[in-house]
């Protein structure tokens, strides 16, 4: 049975989460995470898809992770089918924070190759966190298929995902280093260089990779 004061608290929380002032929304999300209420899970997930303020979205994600995974993970997985790009990317981000590998089947090739760069980048990060043991080589092949995609930040995100995946990324990167498209070869070589030397810096690694591709030095130092 729901007590009247509980209804009042929920009404106050909903009002605060939808307030015009971002600072109020931030404080309310923090309060909700500090005192989880299962009745708010659906609304928290919905608000993640529309919240314009980054800090508030991060606090909403934190608040969601404070609730039982049995309630949050199915709701987040449903959100991955949304037509709204922010809904998909934020659900992926939150799933990665839960660390619940039961969500792995929902991290599909469609999401990993999503035409929206932000969704794809978030899917790469989530996949590396959630991939079960033994599934890493298949994930590496899908990720390597995206090499050369997008601008600097997208390429850097993909390199980081492949590096975080560890040894299983090696064969996929080796194969991509012989790809007919120079941009793919450059990205693969730069990623491999960053695997060997994390302090090399992405921009320098890309420039060195371009030099090697121009010289045809894919398997040796030029």
Q: What is the pLDDT of residues 166-189, one digit of tens each?
A: 999 999 999 999 999 999 999 999
Domain boundary among 111, 130, 149: 130
* DSSP summary character for residue 219: S
Q: What is the pLDDT of residue 222?
A: 38
- 69/81 Cα distance (integer angstroms): 19
Domain identity same for 45 and 106? yes
Looking at the domain assignment, is residue 110 inside a domain?
yes
168 CB contacts (<8 Å, ≥6 apart)? Answer: 136, 137, 139, 140
Domain identity same for 142 and 175? yes
Task: Find the CATH number of the domain harbouring 42.
Answer: 1.25.10.10
Domain identity same for 85 and 153? no
Looking at the domain assignment, is residue 118 inside a domain?
yes
Domain identity same for 71 and 155? no
SS3 18: coil
- The Cα diameter of the chain in Å comes to 75
Looking at the domain assignment, is residue 183 inside a domain?
yes
Domain boundary among 130, 145, 168: 130
Domain identity same for 104 and 174? no
Domain identity same for 99 and 150? no
Looking at the domain assignment, is residue 14 inside a domain?
no
pTM equals 0.88
Domain identity same for 157 and 74? no
Q: Render each residue's pLDDT in the chain as its tens digit; 222 residues.
A: 454 456 788 889 999 999 999 999 999 999 999 999 999 999 999 999 999 999 999 999 999 999 999 999 999 999 999 999 999 999 999 999 999 999 999 999 999 999 999 999 999 999 999 999 999 999 999 999 999 999 999 999 999 999 999 999 999 999 999 999 999 999 999 999 999 888 888 888 888 888 888 877 554 443
* Radius of gyration in angstroms for the set of CA atoms belonging to the chain, rounded to a whole number: 21
140 within 8 A of 168, measured Cβ to Cβ: yes
Find the angle CA(196)-CA(146)-CA(189) to the nearest 5 degrees. 30
CB atoms within 10 A of CB 23: 11
Looking at the domain assignment, is residue 25 inside a domain?
no
- 66/157 Cα distance (integer angstroms): 27
- 111/92 Cα distance (integer angstroms): 9
Domain identity same for 140 and 213? yes
Domain identity same for 214 and 153? yes
Looking at the domain assignment, is residue 79 inside a domain?
yes
- DSSP calls for 131-180: PPTT-HHHHHHHHHTTTT-SSHHHHHHHHHHHHHH-TTHHHHHHHHTT-S
Whose tokens are 């298929």? That residue is 145
Domain identity same for 122 and 141? no
Looking at the domain assignment, is residue 7 inside a domain?
no
Closest CA to 161 of 112, 104, 115: 112
Domain boundary among 101, 130, 159: 130
Domain with 121 in it: 37-130
Looking at the domain assignment, is residue 12 inside a domain?
no
Tally of domains within the chain: 2
Domain identity same for 68 and 149? no
First to last CA, the chain: 73
């Amino acid at each position: 049975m729901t007590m009247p004061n509980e209804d009042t608290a929920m009404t106050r929380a909903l009002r605060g989460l939808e307030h015009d002032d971002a600072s109020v929304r931030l404080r309310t999300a923090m309060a909700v995470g500090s005192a989880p209420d299962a009745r708010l899970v659906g609304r928290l997930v919905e608000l993640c898809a529309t919240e314009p303020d980054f800090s508030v979205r991060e606090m909403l994600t934190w608040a969601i992770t404070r609730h039982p995974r049995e309630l949050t993970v199915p709701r987040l997985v449903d959100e991955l089918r949304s037509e709204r790009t922010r809904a998909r990317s934020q659900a992926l981000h939150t799933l990665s924070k839960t660390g619940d590998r039961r969500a792995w089947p929902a991290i599909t090739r469609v999401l990993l190759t999503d035409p929206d760069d932000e969704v794809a980048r978030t899917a790469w990060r989530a996949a590396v966190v959630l991939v079960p043991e033994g599934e890493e080589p298949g994930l590496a092949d899908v990720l390597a298929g995206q090499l050369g995609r997008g601008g600097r930040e997208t390429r850097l995100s993909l390199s980081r995902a492949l590096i975080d995946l560890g040894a299983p990324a090696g064969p996929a990167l080796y194969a991509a280093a012989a790809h007919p498209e120079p941009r793919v070869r450059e990205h693969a070589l730069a990623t491999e260089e960053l695997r060997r030397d994390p302090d090399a810096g992405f921009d320098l690694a890309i420039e060195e990779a371009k030099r090697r591709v121009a010289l045809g030095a894919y398997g040796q130092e030029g």
